[in-house]
Amino acid sequence: MYSSGTTGRVKGVVLTHRNLIAVIAGYYPSKQERNSPTVMLYTVPYFHVFGFFYSFKSIDLSETVVVMERFDLKNMLRAVEKFRVTELAVAPPVVVAMTKSDLTDGYDLRSLETVGCGGAPLGKDVMKVFADRFPTVDLWQRGTRKFNMDALFLSNKKMMKINMSATYLAKLSTQDGTVLYDY
């Protein structure tokens, strides 16, 4: 798998079975009992770690999944309305587009409960505008910092930072295979 190169050049990343299992196990505490199934809409590519792990999350938690062939804001909004999507997995530019575009006014987005944003940092100012525009939607911002996984969570206009390093494991190696860090 390859990283997106957010902090530099694209890099090859080794994901171990242990890492995969730890990440998937980390989703269980957040699972909520529901009267209707969670309906996920993926706008992120599966070759990126964000899309890859979210796809496993949906399988593991028996979620209904809506997949987009190619991202388009209007098509995404149409899918949220048509399939009563409850959770979106998006990159930061989509959150920015949702806060700035008048297109969102033309669609019924009341089913939307959570937007999970990752792959690159999202500014706190954008999170605030999003919360003002979509007050009933929880916004998660996930991103790596050193070897820990942190999350910013915005719900009911309260921002929280959650360190999730207990569930995320990493292995950092040089190109010749020398292990620099193994958690």
Q: Which portions of the chain are predicted below pLDDT 50? A: 144-157, 159-173, 181, 183
Measured CA to CA, the distance from residue 96 to residue 73 in angstroms comes to 11
How much is the pTM? 0.73
Of the CATH numbers 3.40.190.10, 3.40.50.620, 3.40.50.980, 3.40.50.720, which one belongs to the domain with range 34-167? Answer: 3.40.50.980
What six digits make up the tokens of 122? Answer: 């999202």
Q: So what's the pLDDT on residue 164? A: 41
The candidate with the shortest Cα–Cα distance to 160, out of 139, 180, 176, is 139
Q: What values do phi and psi take at 166, rounded to 5?
A: -65, -25
Q: So what's the pLDDT on residue 153? A: 46
Q: So what's the pLDDT on residue 70? A: 86
Q: Where are the domains of the chain?
A: 34-167
Instruction: List, in order, residues 6 or more apart from 60 with CB less than 8 Å away.
Output: 24, 27
Measured CA to CA, the distance from residue 173 to residue 72 in angstroms comes to 37
Q: So what's the pLDDT on residue 150? A: 39
Measured CA to CA, the distance from residue 116 to residue 158 in angstroms comes to 16
**DSSP, res 12:** B
What six digits make up the tokens of 145? Answer: 């910092």
